[in-house]
Every structure is written in C-alpha cells, then in structure tokens.
Structure 1
Amino acid sequence: MNRKYKRLKTQGVWLFAISLSLGISSCKKEKTTTETVTPEVKENKWVSMSTGQSHTVALGSDGSIWGWGHNATGQLGTGNTNSISTPALLSAERDWKFINTGYGHTVAIKTDGSLWAWGENTSGELGIGTKGTAVNTPTRVGNDTDWKMVLAGGNYTIAIKNNNTLWSWGTHSSGRLGNGQSTGETLTPVQVGAESDWDKIFTGNNWGASFAIKKDGTLYAWGVNQNGMLGNGNTSNQLSPVLVGGSSKYKMVSYGRARGTLAIKTDGTLWAVGRNSRGELGIGNMDTQANWVQVGTDKNWNTVSLFARTVLATKTDGSLWGWGENVYGELGNGKINPSSEVAETILSPVQIAGQSSVADAVVGFNFSVIRKNSNGGILFVAGSDMGAFYSLGKGTGNTKPILSFSGHIYLP
C-alpha cells in the first residue's frame, strides 16, 4: 500500500495527514503550510491466492505463504487445528513459489522444485505414503525437485512436472486419478499415461473431476461426469483423460461442486456445460447443457471461478463480473439473497460496480477474494464469516456479511 505522510503546521502545532490509496483521512486548519515526506514503499505484495471451503491461502512476492479461516483438518499448516481470524504466516521459509488449497488439504511447491503437502489425508491425498491421519504442518512429498504445478482436489491431488508429464495420487473413486481405475487409493505420486505435453491442470477443491490443457491448447478431462460436467457429450465417469473441447484452444477451466463447468478459450470467449440449477452457467436460463455453449459474445474474458453455484470472472480490462446465487453476499455486489430463491439468482454476467484493475477472483463456499493489480496487489474480500470459520480474514466474529469488496487485506 502506498502512503504519503504530510506534516501540517498550523499556529505552531504540527499535525499529520495520511493519504491512502483507498481514501483520505486528514486534519485541516486554515493558514497551513505543507511539507511532504514519502517513506520507503514495501515491495512485497500478494501474487496469488487459493480458497477452500471456508479458508484461504495466499502467496507473497517474497516467497512467503499466509493463511486464514477454517482449519479443522490442519489445512492451514500451523501445527494445530485452530481457525485463524486474520492472515498468519504459515511457514518461516520464504522460498515458496506455488500454492493451492482444497477442501481439506493444501499443496505447495518451493523454488527448488520440491513438493509439500499438509492437512486431511483420508485417502492418501498428501502423497506421503500413508493415509488416514491428518498432518498439520508442511510435509515434503518424496525427494523429487522438478515439480511445476500441483492442485488439491477432493481427497486426491494432481500435478505436472517440469518435463510436462502428468501425475496423480489419492483416491481412485470415479476415476479421478485418470489412471484407468475407480477403486482403491494411490499413496504416492504416480505418472498418468506416457504423454509429456501437458501444460495446465484444473480441479475443484472438494469434487472429483479434473481438466488439463496440453501444449497445443486442446482440453482434456477425466473423473466425475455428473450432469455432463466434463463436456464430452455424455454423463459417464471417465477413468482416463479424454478430449472434450475438440480442436479449440483453451486457457483456463473452473467447475463447481453443483456440477457446472465454465471455460475460457484463447480467443477470450467464455463457454459453459453441465448443470445450471441457479444460473451458474450464465446463459440466461437454468437449463442443464449436455454440450458446450458460448456465454454471450464477448471476447475479452480473462479468469473465471465457480465454487458451487456462484461465479466471479474478470475481463482483460480489469473489470469484475458475477452471476449465479448470492446466499452469503459473496458476489460483492452490495446485496445478499439468503433465501436462495430462484427469482433472486443472476442468470447472466453482470458487472460488479466500483471494481477495476482486478487481476483475478476466487470463490469459496461462503465468501470470495479478489486480487487487484493496483495498490500493491491488495486482496479484497466479500461474503460471510459463518460463525467461527473466519473466512473473511478480518478479525474474529464478523456478525454481519461484507456485501461489497471493501474488506481489504494487506500483506503484513
């Protein structure tokens, strides 16, 4: 956050005014003289964030990782299971480069390429060779130092190495590991297939479907396929990666536990498939889609996040858009629809007023977080704390929802 301190001399008394990027608080008198002193600006800022059910982990540009919110399975990695009401440093090391959190476990990669995990381990999703007992501190996964990207799914984990090979571990349920099996568990990382042209991976933090984009931009999917959420034209679970986007080229995917999926192509268009019970597909109705359909005609979509039936998306101009249901105020549009009535849902993308320079947005169960390019990469939150979950990271016991993105979180 940029601050400017002004010393104001009025009738022999020195006063101070602090000019903030988010507003101005000042003391004013007549006949003042002003001397401006600009202190050193901290270069450290938020560079990414990931939300689980009711918690968040975030990465600082100095390699630090921070977390807040619900911590029932040790997913924040603090050595205990106490929820955290404001951002807390999760590790003394400042050599982290990638973080992702799921419903109950968190995964991360250090700058040396080593892989780490902590939290719930019911099905071996931590990849440390055991299952059943949760781990509440960061624990190294194997000895490899060539990990590129890793994501936490519902009781499983998928990852890509620097050589662009695909890996997975955890439960085989519904084919979510992509290795041709649907029962049992894999307790350590195992390669999926023999291909070495995987570029990006996407999964939901408490569900069992996965998507991956290859180097040529083509889209593949596997795992749970309820309501046709994988986009391959049927509803059968897929035990191995299958092409779902034809010859089109994609850049990102997000799906919700309500079984709807949204994807952005490299041409900036937005597409949807699967269940649409509260308008989460953004196509102006609540009809389930068996095949991919375009959302509007705009060609400047940048990011999209769908948790259950709530969506936030950004465009390349930095604007923020939302649709679907808004039970906890998580859309940040100044409203809340606690009854979740169909009539109160938003069926097509609507711009969230007052927001600009938004780099990305992520949605949790009862809250959402956006990161801005301006103001040093500040995070802003909206939604509800849900009692002792502390999802908003703004201190204990917020009894009222934050209905607009006014709850800013600076990197400590």
Structure 2
Amino acid sequence: MQDLSNIISIQSGSSHNLALRSDGAVLAWGYNAYGQLGIGNTTNQSAPVRIETLNNIVAIAAGSNHSIALQADGTVWYWGNYNSYDSSSMKKQPVQVETLSRIVAIAAGGYHSLALKSDGTVWSWGKNWDGQLGNGNTSNQYNPVQVTTIDNIVAIAAGRYHSMALHKNGSLYTWGENYSGQLGNGNTSSQSIPVQVLDISNAIDIECGYHSFVQLNDGNFKVLNQYKSYPNLMPNMDEIVDFSAYGYSKKIVLTAKGEIKTWEDDQDDQELVFREVMSDSQNIIDISSNYEKTCVVLNDGDVWCWGRNLDGMGNLSSSIPLKITGLHNIKAIEANNFEGDFPGINTALGNDGIVWNWGENCYGRLGNGTTEDSSIPVQVENLDTIVSVSSNSTHSLAIKEDGSLWAWGDNYKGQLGDGTTTNRYTPVSVLNIDNIIAVANNNAGSIALKNDGSVWAWGASWHGRLGDGTTVDRHEPVILKTLSDVVDIHASDYCRLALKSDGTVWRWGHNYDDSYDFLIPLRISSLANIVEIDISANSCIARASNNDVWVWGKYGINMILHIISPY
C-alpha cells in the first residue's frame, strides 16, 4: 500500500479520492470506471495508488468523474471523463491542457473545471448546460475558454453546476445553475455570465458544494442558498479556521480549538447539528446515530436526541439536544431512518427489561396493540425481561433473558417468523428457535444467532438475502447450514455479514455493484483476524485485532479500502 504520510491536500469526487504528498506526488483510489484515478486503466482501487506520470504537483481537484492537477510550472493536467464531454472520451492517464499556462489555482465541479491565471483571469471547460463555464452561452467546451466580464480574481471555486470567483477587492461573482439561489444575486435564474453577489464586499474565502459559501474578513460566514436568493448569515461560526463543503448538502469546519463541526443544508437557520452540544458528554453510556439524527443515553437513564425526525413522524427537528419525554432508567437506544414513505421509529430499552417505541405506527410497529401514531414513547405490550432489541422502519425483534425471540410489526414476507404473513400489533414468539444471543433485521427480513454459533434466517429472500441457497421466502426460521462458529451478525437491505470465531468474515445477499447475488455465505478472502463488524445502509466496516480498519460497499463488495491503525 502506498504511503499516506506527509499528505498536504486531499480531494474527493463523487466516488474517488485524490491525495497530494509534500513531495509533489499524487495518489488516487476508489471508483475508476471513467479513468478518473489516472493510472492507465479502469480498474477500481481499494487502496491508494500513485499516479506515476505526475510529478511536482502543487494542487489537485476532483469532480464527479474527472480529476485535474496543477504542476509547479503553472501547467494543468486532467484525466477521467466529463461525462463524455470531449471528442476523445475518457483519459485514463493525465494529459496536459495545452492552451493553459501560468495557472495559479484550479477547481473541479461536477462536470466542469476552472483555472485561475496569474493575471487574474479565469478559464473554464467541460459541460455547460447551466452556463457554469461563464462564457455567455450554454455550449459545452472541449478546450478552455475565458470567463467573461471579470478580472483581478484571487480565488475560484466550482460547485456541481455553478462557479464562484473572489475579486481582489472582496466582492464575489457567481454563474451557472441558480434554481435554489446559490448565485446570491437576488433571483433564481441561471446565469451564463458572472453576476455580482449581493451585499458582500469583504470576502476572504469561498467554497462551493451543492450551494455556495463565503467567509468574511470579520470572521463571519454567509450561505448562498436555502431557497433564498440573497446571502444569509450563518450563526454559531465563531473561531473558524478552515471550511469545506462537499456533496449535495454537507459542510465541515475546523475551529481554532481543533474542533470539527459538520451539518446539513436542510435547516433554514443553518444551525450546526453535530457539535460539542453536551457539557456532560462523558456520561454517555449508549449512542445511536444515522443520517437524520443522533440519540444518546446518559448514565442517569435519560435520553437526549438532536437532528431531524426526533418524533419518528417527520415533524420534530432540533439543532440542540432535546430530552425525550417519558423515558427514564434507559440503558440502550436505537434510532432509525426514514424508509420509503415511512419515518423510522425510535426504540429504547430500559434497565428493567421494558421496551419503549415512538413514531408512526403503520403495521403496528410500536407494539402497543394499536396502529395509532405516538410522538412520545409508548410501552411495548406483553413484553418484559428483554436483554436486547433490534428495530427498523417496519418490524422489531427482541430477545428475552431466557433466549426466546419475539417479533412485531410488518409481516408481509414472513419476517416475524411466526409461520404467517399477518401483521402483528403486539409481540409474537418466533417459532422453532431458542437460546438466541443476537439478532439483526432489515426491510422484510430477519436473522438470529444462537449460542451454539449457528445462524438462522427468515422473511424475504430477494437477491438471496436468506443465505439458504434459494430465493424462496421463509415464514419460519431456517438454519444456514454452511455457517458455524459465528460470534456476530449484521444485516442491511443490501447484504448480511457474519463474523466467525476464527476472525473470518462471511457475506451473502445482494452485491453492491448489481453484478450478481450471493445465495449462500461466502468468505471475504481479504479479511482476517477481524474482531468487530458493522453495516450501515450500503457501507460495511470491519476492525482487525491490530486495530486496522477495513471499509467497503456501494461500488462492489470486493472493493475494500484498508485504513491502517487509525487509533
């Protein structure tokens, strides 16, 4: 594996990564179908590989499917594909942009690129359907063209379909897509020539993601978006020393104290959702987090949550922690996402073995004998002495002290394991299994681990998710005969994982690249001496006994990224 020490810059495209080393070398890894790694082929890389044809590089940038680099001599190099933007299609190795020289900065948008010359002019090339090239039309350009009407530029930034430029006098110019006001010029019409951003004359830094952001010389930040066509002051941004925007809605900042803060665009007030929000955070005994919210249990048994969908009904959001009413003496919490049209319910387990749920109650998934929604926790009926519970957006599983397993909620594929496909509003016993020590569930499916190391599965068998060698739904648990000596299990809507006592990891179900399915568990040959596994949506992670971490997913279950000893 290439050395990732002495890294001075790192850039991420939609599915690939670039790293710039202090000696001017560039390393790349990730998805490579368009040649965006620049290594001469289209083979995905699960570990950083040096781009051998690049040297003396001083800046890098990554777009959706393409990459660019700035050499110390002021020349620009590009590779990959702007979605078939030019006549020669993809470039698998870096090629020089022949018409550019004396370049001092570069930026890569979704499917276009920008270059800033030493004379303060800006040049652009690539896709231009929203005028993001800034040359007065919407025609794609195979070679760099000068952005019109602006000069004396000192910084540039490229978003998905729009661009930004910072003038030396502190004013700001934008062009391209503007449907949600990211140009900050007072309307939402896309612009093919630069327009001046309103009410900004003291900018010192700019950043583009899906939207636009600017840092002012007084330390404040403004956002150009949130469906408001003029810049808006961003609160709680004191002592920020670095700022980055990425993806459609994510931002991250570094404070002078070394703190990292990150949040999403979906809140009009732009409050930071994830930050140091609890002075007594050292008292946290359990935590559950997803793309919507975070919930924690403190050692006093209280539960606090912040983010979106806190009520499980899609109505309550908060950028600061809210104490959940009616919960006391809790030891574990599980927060669930929206799935399809249904907000995920929230589940809490008390020290007394009682289970509490709150949220929308379609299918009877709250387990209280009704289908009435509840924004405050309600007790699951006829259930006690519970030691572990697993819930998702449609059904739940709970293990009793005696090792019996109970289920409730949606059952249209037999995922409750009671021999029927009837929804259950209160818990029912799962048939034909006992001595259960762990469970995992996903949409329309369930798996359980017995104390003898055997794994059992039931429910939907789409893409072979049961692992019994068939695609036949099972309304009662069936044993996976090819697995034994298992110590942990995890499940998502895409695949399932099992960790054996010998440190090997086995997977079955849907392959992330849609090429084929695993109908029975197969070992992941590149993983050994693993002590911990987990799955979140379409991503998998494993930790080895030496604390090396391995992650994979989405672009091929065999594409595994090895992160050496992050601890």
Q: TM-score, normalised by structure 2?
A: 0.48
Which of the numbers 465, 468, 472 marks the counterpart of 1:283?
468
Q: Does 1:410 align with 2:566?
A: yes
Larger Rg: 2
Q: CA deviation at 1:384?
A: 4.6
Per-residue deviation, residues 277-324 of structure 1 (Å, max 9, x unmatched) = 111111112222222111015431111111113112211222111122
In structure 2, what is the equivalent of residue 191 of structure 1? 379
Identity, in percent, stands at: 27
Aligned with 2:464: secondary structure?
coil
Match of 2:437 among 225, 231, 251: 251
Within-5 A mapping of 1:65-80: 71=264, 79-80=271-272
Match of 1:95 in 2: 283
Provide the residue aligned with 1:231 in structure 2: 417
Per-residue displacement from partner, 1:64-106 (whole Å, max 9, x unpaired)?
xx998x95668xxx94369xxxxx8776623322112356333
Closer, same or farther: CA 255–103 of 1 in aligned 2, 3 Å = farther
| Kept in 2: contact 1:120–1:134 (CA 8 A) | yes
Deviation at 1:225, TM superposition (A): 0.9
Amino acid at match of 2:308: E
The CA deviation string for residues 323-372 of structure 1, in whole angstroms up to 9 with x for no partner, is: 22222xxxxxxxxxx3x24xx21111111113223233222333212233
Alignment of 1:155-304 (within 5 A): 155-183=344-372, 185-193=373-381, 195-204=383-392, 207-246=393-432, 248-257=434-443, 259-304=444-489
Alpha carbons of 1:182 and 1:293: their partners in 2 closer, same or farther (altered >3 Å)? same
Cα distance change of structure 1 residues 298 and 324 upon mapping to structure 2, 3 Å threshold: closer
What is the SS of the residue equivalent to 1:262? Answer: strand
Q: Give the corresponding residue for 1:137.
A: 320
In the alignment, is residue 324 of structure 1 matched against residue 509 of structure 2? yes
Q: CA deviation at 1:272?
A: 0.9
- The match for 2:542 is 370
Q: Report the counterpart of residue 109 of structure 1 in structure 2.
A: 297
Question: Are the counterparts in 1 of residues 552 and 559 from structure 2 also a CA contact under 8 Å?
Answer: yes
Query: Secondary structure of the equivalent of 1:363?
Result: strand
Distance 2:388 2:505 in 1: 24
Q: Distance in 2 between matches of 1:382 and 1:181?
A: 40
- Does the 8 Å CA contact 2:383/2:427 hold for their aligned counterparts? no
Contact 1:231 1:290 in 2 (8 A): yes
Q: Is the 8 A contact 1:380 1:406 kept in 2?
A: yes
Tell me the secondary structure at the aligned position of residue 305 of structure 2.
strand
Structure with the larger RCO, 1 or 2 (CA within 8 Å, 6+ apart):
1
Amino acid in structure 2 at the alignment position of 1:168: N
Q: What amino acid maps onto 1:361 in structure 2?
A: I
Contact 2:549 2:562 in 1 (8 A): no
Please state how far the C-alpha of 1:112 moved relative to its aligned partner.
Answer: 2.8
Contact 1:220–1:245 under 8 Å retained in 2: no
> Contact (CA 8 Å) 1:73, 1:119: kept in 2 or not?
no
* Secondary structure at the counterpart of residue 381 of structure 1: strand
Change (3 A) 1:89 1:262: farther
Unpaired runs of at least 5, structure 1: 1-65, 83-87, 328-337, 386-399
Query: Which residue number in structure 1 is paired with residue 142 of structure 2?
Result: none
Change (3 A) 1:294 1:402: closer
The DSSP-based 3-state class of the residue aligned with 1:232 is coil
Structure 2 unaligned spans of 5+: 1-259, 337-342
Deviation at 1:240, TM superposition (A): 0.3
Aligned positions of 1:337-376 closer than 5 A: 338=513, 340-341=514-515, 344-372=516-544, 374-376=545-547
- Given the superposition, is the C-alpha separation of residues 320 and 71 from structure 1 closer, same or farther in structure 2, using an over 3 Å criterion? farther
Distance in structure 1 (CA, Å) of the matches to 2:518 and 2:261: 31
Q: Which amino acid in structure 2 is aligned with residue 180 of structure 1?
A: G
Tell me if structure 1 keeps the 8 A contact 2:419–2:431.
Answer: no
